[in-house]
Amino acid sequence: MTERLYYDNAYLTEFEGQVLACRPNGDQYDVLLDRSAFYPTSGGQPYDTGTLGHARVTDVQVTDGQVWHTVTAPLCVGETVCGIIDWPRRFDHMQQHAGDHMIAGALHHLMGGVTIGLHISDDVSTIDVAMPEGVTRISDEDFRRVEVYVNERIQRDVPIRCWFPEAEELHILPLRKEPTVTEHVRIVAIGDDEMVACGGTHPSTAGQLGMVKIVSVAPARGKMRVSFLAGQRALKNYMDCHQAVHAASGLISANADTLVSSIVALQERLKVAEYELLKFKRDQLLSQADQMLNKAELLPNGTKLVCRFVEADAALLRDMTSRLIEHPGVIALMGARTGDQAVYVFGRSADVTADMGALLRDCARPLGGKGGGKPDFAQGGGCVEILEAARLKLLQ
C-alpha cells in the first residue's frame, strides 16, 4: 500500500517518492509511488494537484490502498521523483472539509441531524443531512443559530486533532456517528464536542478556517442539503456581497441599512407605473377599433376583415379582438409579434359563419405553429407568416 504522508502532516507540500509503476492512460500516464503526499479523491474531498518531477498531476485516485497519480508525462520506474503539492488548492480543501465537520457537528448537537455525505466543488461545498422526522428545511432563526455556533468555535481557535486510535480507544470514543470502515479508522476531533471518523485533510486549529458562511438550506432527495463556504471562499463571498450592496445602495440613493426597504418601495412604485402604462396602452389600442373597422378589407361576401399586427400582450390582444367583433359582419385576425414569432387571436361576429378555430389551425400547422378554438374565437402562436396565410385563405 502507498504510504500516505498527508495523514501525518497535512501541511507537507514537498516530498520524494520512488516510482513503482507507470502505465499509459489515454494521452496521459498513471503513476504509482511508494509514498505520496497527494490526496486522492475520496470522502467528498477532491484530489490534490501539483507536479511529480517534470510532469503535472491532473488527477489522483486510490485503488485497493494504492494511490495512482495521473500525470502529463511518463516517469521512469525505479527513479525517485520530487512531488510538489498545489498548496492553495490543498488548503482550500482543508478549510472546506473542516467547515463540513463543524457544521455537521452543530446540526447534530443543536437539532439531532445526521450528515449523509459531503461534496466539495470549485465554488461551493454541500452536505446532505438526515434530520429528525424527515425535516428538509430549517427556519431562518435556526439557520443563523448554526452559523453563530460554528463561527464562535472558529474564533475560539479550538484544536483539530487527527489520529488512528487503537481498537480499545476507538471503542470508547464519543463519535458523532459510526465509522463506515472497520480497519485503519482515522478519527478527526475538533475541540471537545465534535469527533468523527474521516480520512481527509484538515487544518490543525479551527481558527485557520477564518469564517464559515452557510449560503443555502434546501431539500434534496428527501434530505436537507446545506451549501456553505469556508475560509477564503467565505471571505470572497462577503467582499462580493459588500461591494454589491454598496453599489446597489448608490444606485438608489440608500444606505446598506435601508436598502431592502428602499427596494420594496421602488417595487411598489413600479407596480403602480406598470399598471398605469398597461391601462394607457389598453385604452389607446381599444380606441383604434373604429378606425380599424373603417379601413377594413371587404371579403367577397361583404364581411369586413381586420387583419393586422398590433403592439399588445395576449390579454390585450383578446380584448381588442372582442371589441372589434362586437360589431356585426366582422372577422378580426389579430397578431402580436414576439421577435420572429407571434401570438394570434382570431374572432368573428355572431352573424358571420366562418370557423375561426379551423382557420387558425389549418394555417398554423403547415408553418410549424399551433392553435385552435371555437368557431367564433381562437388563439394560437407561431411564425409571423401565419397571419397573411389566414388572410389569403379568407379571400379565396
* pLDDT, tens only, 197-230: 999 999 999 999 999 999 999 999 999 999 999 9
Nearby residues of 349 by Cβ (< 8 Å), 6 or more positions away? 325, 326, 327, 328, 329, 330, 331
Q: What is the pLDDT of residue 193?
A: 86
* pLDDT, tens only, 222-266: 999 999 999 999 999 999 999 999 999 999 999 989 999 999 999
Q: What is the pLDDT of residue 337?
A: 94
Q: What is the pLDDT of residue 114?
A: 94
Q: What is the pLDDT of residue 282?
A: 84
Rounded CA separation 106/108 (Å): 5
Q: Is the pLDDT of residue 309 over 90?
A: yes
Q: What is the pLDDT of residue 369?
A: 95
> Quick one: which of 9, 28, 29 has its CA closest to 19?
29
> Quick one: which of 176, 201, 110, 118 has its CA closest to 147?
110
Q: State if pTM tops 0.95.
A: no
Q: Which amino acid is at 166?
A: E
pLDDT band at residue 186 under the 50/70/90 scheme: very high
* pLDDT, tens only, 102-151: 999 999 999 999 999 899 999 999 999 999 999 999 999 999 999 999 99
Taking all residues of the chain, what is their mean pLDDT, rounded to a whole number?
A: 95
Q: How far is CA 374 from CA 177, 307, 324, 356, in A?
A: 65, 19, 17, 7
- How far from chain centre, in Å, is Cα 236? 18
Count CB neighbours of 393 within 10 A. 12
Phi, psi of 34 (to 5 degrees): -75, -25
Q: What is the pLDDT of residue 281?
A: 85
Q: Which amino acid is at 247?
A: A
Quick one: cell of 122?
Answer: 470549485
